[in-house]
Amino acid sequence: MITQGKYSVWFKTPIGEGAGVVEFGPDGKLSGGDTTFSYIGNWTQERERFKAAISARRFAPGPPGVFGMDAIDISVAGHSDGSPSVSCTGFAKQAPGLKLEVTLIRICDD
């Protein structure tokens, strides 16, 4: 199961790949970012399946994003079996033909 807390996130499309940090917060809120993009959105968990709707927006100059755009709206879905690593797939509303692959790895709390 996805639980509240911080996760390292690695993502890729046929255009490129990247990495960042995401926090799954209470009440289904999600936030995070990397060196050039910020992420905000919502997530839900139903048994072993989870879904997230995320808006990613560029806030600093840098290399092209994995969709080649500076503002995107992404939907992802995945299966969580309780392990610290979760894989999911998704698409951006602005580029529905590009598949997004995502790996989340739980960052242990101190």
Q: How far apart are CA 60 and CA 30, in angstroms?
A: 20
Share of the chain above pLDDT 70, in %: 97
Q: How far apart are CA 110 and CA 77, in angstroms?
A: 28
Q: Which of 38, 55, 48, 59 is nearest to 90 (CA)?
A: 55
pLDDT of 110 over the 60 cut: no
List the CATH code of the domain at 5-106: 2.40.128.380
Question: What's the Cα-to-Cα distance from 97 to each of 13, 27, 56, 60, 91, rounded to whole Å?
Answer: 10, 31, 18, 26, 8
Question: What's the Cα-to-Cα distance from 59 to each of 17, 64, 102, rounded to whole Å?
Answer: 18, 12, 21
pLDDT digits (tens, 9 = 90+) for 8-44: 999 999 999 999 999 999 889 999 999 999 999 999 9
| Cβ–Cβ < 8 Å for 91, 74 | yes
Domain ranges of the chain: 5-106
